[in-house]
């Protein structure tokens, strides 16, 4: 699953902004075959004086932590393209609004991940395709 933690200043995003960004993030993964329910986006509103950069309050900073569990990219060129693509998805919600943004991607080992008590099916397998079509975890 991709798990995105988006830490942002209070009131910088409307409910519609959050829905739109979460939909765009979900599209990143569903277009390569991942089930939509794998994608989890959490917005963490940071009240003033709770985020600091260089030891000073940061009221214009958005920090994103992306955790990949379902797929990992080993090829350096593909990793670079993915990172640049994510930057492009974030830019309209950050830099284009005058906000400072930063993100990083972590790859969590697939064998340390379960959904609703199930080990996720192999990438690209018929079982994973069935999960994607049903948009839920189920026995396989």
Give the DSSP per-residue string, 33-100. T--GGG-EEEEEEE-TTS-EETTEE-SSEEEEEEEE-S----SHHHHHHHHHHHHHHHGGGTGGGT-E
Contact 6/93 with Cβ under 8 angstroms? no
pLDDT tens, 78-130?
A: 999 999 999 999 999 999 999 999 999 999 998 999 999 999 999 999 999 99
pTM, to two decimals: 0.94
Q: What is d(CA 88, CA 59) in angstroms, rounded to the nearest whole number?
A: 22
pLDDT tens, 58-90?
A: 999 999 999 999 999 999 999 999 999 999 999
- The upper half-sphere exposure of residue 110, i.e. CA atoms within 13 Å in the direction of its Cβ, equals 10
């Amino acid at each position: 699953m991709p798990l995105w933690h988006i830490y942002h200043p209070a009131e910088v995003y409307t409910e519609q902004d959050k829905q739109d960004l979460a939909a765009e993030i979900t599209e990143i993964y569903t277009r390569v075959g991942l089930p939509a329910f794998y994608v989890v986006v959490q917005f963490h509103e940071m009240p003033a004086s709770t985020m600091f950069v260089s030891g000073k309050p940061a009221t214009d900073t958005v920090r994103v932590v992306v955790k990949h569990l379902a797929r990992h990219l080993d090829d350096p060129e593909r990793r670079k393209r993915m990172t640049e693509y994510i930057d492009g998805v974030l830019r309209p919600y950050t830099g284009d609004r005058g906000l400072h943004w930063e993100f990083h991607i972590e790859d969590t080992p697939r064998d340390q991940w379960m959904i609703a008590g199930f080990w996720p099916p192999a990438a690209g397998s018929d079982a994973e395709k069935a999960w994607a079509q049903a948009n839920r975890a189920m026995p396989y």
